[in-house]
Amino acid sequence: MILLCGIPTETPLEMVAASLRRLGIPHVWFNQRQFADMDLWFTLSNGHVTGILSMDGRAYRLQDFRGVYIRLMDDRSLPELRSEPGDSQKSRHCHALHDALMQWCEVAPARVVNRAAPMGSNSSKPYQTQLIREHGFAIPETLITNEPELVREFHSYHNQLVYKSISGIRSIVQTLDDESIARLDSIRWCPTQFQEFIPGQNVRVHTIGTSVFATAIASNVTDYRYAHLQKDGETELSAMQLPDELTDRCVRLSMSLGLAFAGIDLKVTPDNRVYCLEVNPSPAFSYYESNTGQPIAEAVARYMAGR
C-alpha cells in the first residue's frame, strides 16, 4: 500500500497516482483538506514503528504502507483554516495531525519520498553548495552579501552576474542588469546571492533511487522556468543521455543528501565542464515529463513499491 500526501489535484501527485493505477499498486490519499475527519497515532518501541491512520471511515495500519509520497502545502494556508483563529480546536487538530504525519515519516521503515530532515539542506543554498562541491561538481563563483559596493566590485570582475534568494523559497533567477544595479541599495536589508554567469547548456537531472532522467533545456531567458512570463521568452525541453560517469555522480550526490527523489540543476559549458547550480528536494517533475515523455512519475511509483 502506498500513501500519497497532499492535495489530490496537484499535478505531480496526480501523475504518480495515475502511474500507481496503471501498475495495479494499491494506494490511498492523505488529503490535507479533509484533516477534520482524520487522525493519526504511532508508537516507536525497540526499533519497531506501529500505529493507525484513520480517514475515510477506515483505519489503516501504518506498518502496512510500503511507500509514502509527500507534497504537502503549509497546513496553515489551507482554505479550511482561513477564518479560524490559530488557537481554535480545529486549527490545533490540523497542526497536530500534520506534525504527527511528518514525525512518523522520519522513522517509518517505508520508502519515503522525501523525508523532512534530508530536505533541510535546501533551506540554505550556501550550505547545500558546500555539499555539492564535495561530489566533484564545479560551483559558480559566489558572493553573498548585503553590501552594494562588494557587488559592484564582483560585477566588474566577472562582467556578467545572476542573482537569487539564498533561502529554500523558490525565487526567479535574474541577470544583474543596469536597472538591477541602480537598485542595489535595497540589498542592505536582505542579503542576496550573486553568482558569475556560466555560459552553456542547462540540464535538469531527476534521480529516483538509481534511476536517472536527464533533460536538455534550450531557452532565450535567464530562468527558463519563467520564460512564459517574459516577452518573446521561449524554452524547448528534450530528453538526453548523460555520460555514465556523470550519471553515477548525480546518483551519489542525491544519495549523500539522503534524497530518494531529487531534481539536480546542471550547466554544461562549451568545453564540457559541469557546474551544479542546486538540488531541488521536492521537484515539480510534471513540467519535464509533459514536455519530454520521460516516465518520471512511473519511476517514483515503482520506487515506492520496491520495484
What are the domain boundaries of the chain?
2-113, 119-136+200-304, 142-196
Rounded Cα gap, residues 278 and 266, in angstroms? 8
Please say if the pLDDT value at position 219 is more than 80: no
CATH number belonging to domain 2-113: 3.40.50
Query: Does residue 228 surpass a pLDDT of 70?
Result: no
The one-letter code for the residue type at 186 is S
Q: Of all helices (H) and strands (E), which one includes residue 8? A: none
**pLDDT (average), residues 288-303:** 97
Average pLDDT rounded to a whole number, residues 119-129: 75
Looking at residue 265, what is its pLDDT? 95
pLDDT tens profile 73-106:
999 999 999 989 988 999 999 999 999 999 999 9
pLDDT interval class at 224 (50, 70, 90)? low
Please check the confidence at residue 21 and state whether its pLDDT lies above 70: yes
Least confident of 36-40, 99-103, 277-281: 277-281
- For 175-208, how does the pLDDT look when each residue is reduced to its tens digit (9 = 90+)? 888 888 888 998 998 889 899 999 999 999 999 9
CATH code of the region 142-196: 3.30.1490
What mean pLDDT, rounded, does the chain reach? 91
CATH architecture of residue range(s) 119-136+200-304:
2-Layer Sandwich (3.30)
Give 119-123 contacts, CB < 8 A, sequence gap 24+: 119/259, 119/281, 119/282, 121/257, 121/279, 121/281, 122/168, 122/278, 122/279, 122/280, 122/281, 123/167, 123/168
CA torsion 257-259-263-265 (nearest 10°) is 10
Please check the confidence at residue 170 and state whether its pLDDT lies above 90. Answer: no
Report whether pLDDT(268) > 70. yes
Mean pLDDT, residues 128-139? 87
Contact call for residues 279 and 264 (beta carbons, < 8 A): yes
Q: What is the structure's pLDDT at 221?
A: 60
Could you give the C-alpha distances from 103 to 97, 100, 163, 295, 300, in angstroms and in order?
A: 10, 5, 35, 30, 22
How many residues would you count in the chain?
A: 307
CA gap 22, 298 in Å, rounded? 9
Output the pLDDT for position 223: 64
Which pLDDT value is given to residue 235? 83
* 171-180, 263-272, 280-289: least confident range: 171-180
Residues ≥6 apart with Cβ < 8 Å to 288: 204, 206, 213, 215, 237, 294, 296
pTM to 2 decimals? 0.87
**Cα separations in angstroms, 240 against 60, 120, 156, 184:** 41, 29, 36, 39
The yes-or-no verdict on residue 226 having pLDDT over 80 is no
d(C-alpha 184, C-alpha 48), whole Å: 54
